[in-house]
Every structure is written in structure tokens, then in C-alpha cells.
Amino acid sequence: MYEKANAICSLLEEATIAELQEMMTSGELTSRDLVKAYILRIGLYDKNGPKINSVLELNPEALFIAEALDVERQKKGPRGPLHGIPVLVKDNIDTDDMMHTSAGSLALENSYAPDDAFIIKKLRKAGAVILGKANMTEWANFMTENMPNGFSSRGGQVRNPYGPGIFDVGGSSSGSGAAVAANFCSVAIGTETSGSILNPACNNSVVGIKPTVGLASRTGVIPISHVQDTPGPLARTVEDAAILLGAIAGVDENDVATWSNCSRIYDDYTQFLDKDGLKGARIGIPTSFLEKLDEEQRRIFTDVQEAVKEAGATIVEVDMPPPQPWQSRSLVYEFKPSINRYLSRLSPNVPIHSLKELIEFNKGKPARMLKYGQTVLIESEQTSGTLTEPEYIQGRLKEEEESRQKGIDRALKQSGADALLFPGLMNAAISARAGYPSISVPAGYTGSGRPVGVTFAGGAYSEPVLIRFAYAFEQITKVRKPPNLDVSEI
């Protein structure tokens, strides 16, 4: 058994969903084999060797689920492209099974969700195997001001597989990004409020899709902001990310943000994959965003622009305000009512049921819980929780106007661009405040081996266009390479 799982491990590296499906269809591989092999690889490299520490908890039922799906495949055929495919999900997404949902906090280490998140129900219906929970930055990096990306009191520090202990792993979907990069799963689900999918995607040389807010349901996701939160895919290829996006997108009667999107949501985003998708496109470059690039980053982004032009696109300079330091306090106001509602519904056996109780719990265990403090939690608790403060109302309305009408919408309209292209995740804050989509794609590596990505961004529900451009860029560049997890080389 061990020898077979070990042999399959070598087949897994960089295997796409389509390749895995082909092997399962031919009988060369079963979903149960696949799950065993990923578990073995997690044991070898996540908890041993380089100790990436990206997987917080494995699903005790994963092998049984996989075996049942194998039997179903034999009798009825596959449900779709995710049938039997192992998926890791971020630890702030509810799963009604034998795993906990804790947002990386010891305060919720014994918390079992009362129901599956809406997107988990959709994944199970699609035939995916929920392999486990991915480690993350505690409370999605909304606990304090100086917490390192990827650190949680429950799970410890996630490490970047391209340079464990050297390169920043990115946050807060750190475990999801690192696990996908290290081939511990086929694909993973992260969540983003501002940069939490794009950041680990860029830092771990994977593809990340931050969807339009409302494209995928937020029900069952531990919240920060009702305005900016969204789940989204992390994958090694644009095609795999598109498959996963189609599986989780949909209207949820319990999430009002999804109600108006019937005609703007697709259950198959792979229809927009086009290797010639950049031909004839106008790609806007907000030049003011390039000023902070160092020489090496500038060189890589110059190569990116050349590749885009070679693919048949026209590069246009875009007049867009330069990135400003993070000054928004909107999230501070939005967190309290959102987290209080979530915590209030947890089991009586859980020690916290409000933000106030969470703060007190942390104070009671300072050595374990307050290594980096909890300044943001305290600041949020000091708000009314009613969203009636003038500072909040004026600030949020201003942010929406500046990010949409005076920001992305204006830049696209004035330049005639079909999408915007940014180095790294420089657009993260403005796209997040607008609630607009972005796709990060690997773009290269520095001389030291640190991954570098670029991000395609657009207006509301422009996922089809962004997927087309990102896929075409990926196909012409093909820069992604797997990390070397051989401990002797690290």
C-alpha cells in the first residue's frame, strides 16, 4: 500500500484536474489512490522535511468519501470535472463533518460548524473530496497590526515552499496557497477581504481568482466584512482555477449578495479559456503603480508586457491614482457585527460567542494567544456594532466612489482597455473596496528564487474576460515551476 502511494506521489506533481480525470477514467488511478498519495505527500513534506505546515487538519472521512465516489464512477460515470478530486479548504470555511472550523484560533479549536458552508455543499455535490483544512493567518489577518502572514495560534507558522523560513508565504489564505504550490492537493479554496487570495497566489507561484463579491456565496464563511468578503480558488493552472470557480459560483437564498447575479454567473468558466485570448485585446497598465518596483521587479514586469504584446494585445498607459497607504477604517466597523453574528450561533460548548468574549479569552492565555497582540480586535470592539457612525458611513461611500467610479471604472472607460494589468497584487486594495474581480498568475522568479506574479483586474463580473486573458498569458509564458521540497536542498 505504502509503495503504491509513494509511486503515485511522483505522478501527482503538477498534475492537472484534466490529467487526473484521464487517469481515473482509464483505471490507472482511483480517487482513493489519489487521496492516499496526497496524505503521504503531506506527511513527507508538510509535517516533515521542509515542514511547510500548510495543512491544519485532515478529513478523517476522506478515504471513505473517495472510495464511494470511485464506486459511483464505475456505476454511473463521473458527475463532472471535480469527481474524486481532493480539495483543501481554508480553516475559516464551515464544514459539517469531523473537522473543526477555527479561523486558526485556539479559541475555536474545538468548534464544529453546525452546517456546511454553501460553497462546500456545492463542492460535495460536484463530487469533490474535502481533503482537509488549510492553515491560515489567524482571523484572516484581522487580529492585530504586526502578525506575520501565515501565523495562527492553533496551527503555527505556514512556510513558503520556495524558500521555507526565507520568503514571505503571503496571507491570509497562506496554507491554501502553499499547499497547492507544494502539490499537497489538486486545488484549494481561500477567502479574500483585501489581498488574501492574490497575495499567497503571487508569493507561492500559483493562480488565484478573487471573484466579484456575490459571485460565490459567503454563507458559512467566518466573516470580516459584508462588503468585501469572498471565497475563491487557488490552483496551479488557470484551467483548474476556472473549473473550481464554476463549482462554487451560484445564487444562495441565504446570501443576499448573490441574489441579483443569476444572469452573470456561469457553472462552467472553462468555456472562456482561449490560448489566443490576448489577440486584439487592449490591456491597460496603470503607470503610477510601477514607481515602487525595484530593478528586478521592473525587469520581470517589462518581460510580462513584452509577452502580452507578442500575444497580440495592445498595451495602453492608464491614468490612475497611485496606490495610497492603507488608511481605511471601514473594516474595523464592519467586523464587529459580522463576527458577533457568526460567533453567536456556535455551540454552547465553544468558549466564545462574541468579539468581547474573544478578546477576554485571548487575555486569559497571553503566552499562546497574544504573541503579536490583538490591537485590531480591540479597536473593532470599541465601535458600536451598528454601522451608524458618521466616519464609517462617509468613509465607505467615499471608498466605493474612489474605487469604482473614479478608480477602475474610470480607468477602463478613459483608456478603452479591456482589463488592467498590475505587478504583483498592487491592485488588491482598490479591487477589494470595489468588490471587483482579479486573477493572479505566475510571472517569474527573482535571482534568489522568490516567485513573482502579475494580476489581471477588471470591472464587476468580468471574470470571463479576465480568465481569457490570464489563460492566454499563462500559455505563452509557462513560467511556473514546482518548488524543490528535497530537504537536502533547503
Catalytic residue positions, numbered: 90, 172, 196
**Residue 280 exposed, middle or buried by CB count within 10 Å (0-12, 13-18, 19+):** exposed
- In the sheet that holds 314-318, the strands lie side by side as 55-58, 129-134, 86-90, 187-192, 230-235, 207-210, 438-445, 451-457, 419-423, 282-286, 314-318
**Parallel, antiparallel, or unpaired for β 314-318 and 187-192?**
unpaired
Give the count of beta carbons closer than 10 Å to the beta carbon of residue 414. 13
Distance CA 95, CA 283 (A): 40
Rounded-to-10 torsion of CA 342, 348, 354, 355? -90
Q: What angle do CA 145, 208, 460 make, to 5 degrees?
A: 90
Distance CA 242, CA 245 (A): 5
SS3 content of the chain, % helix, strand, coil (to 5): 45, 15, 45
Are 93 and 120 within 8 A, CB to CB? Answer: yes
Question: Per DSSP, which regions of 177-330 are E strands?
Answer: 187-192, 207-210, 230-235, 282-286, 314-318
Peptide bond connecting 488 to the previous residue in cis, omega within 30 degrees of 0: no
**Length in residues, the chain:** 490
**Residue 344 exposed, middle or buried by CB count within 10 Å (0-12, 13-18, 19+):** exposed
Handedness of CA 299, 205, 104, 367 (dihedral sign): negative
DSSP letters of 336-352? HHHHHHHHHTS-TTSS-
Q: What angle do CA 465, 471, 473 make, to 5 degrees?
A: 105
Question: Per DSSP, which regions of 280-418 are E strands?
Answer: 282-286, 314-318
**Residue 165 exposed, middle or buried by CB count within 10 Å (0-12, 13-18, 19+):** exposed
- Cell numbers of 444, please? 517569474
The DSSP bridge partners found for residue 207 are 235
As a whole number of Å, the CA-based R_g of the chain is 21
Distance CA 330, CA 229 (A): 13
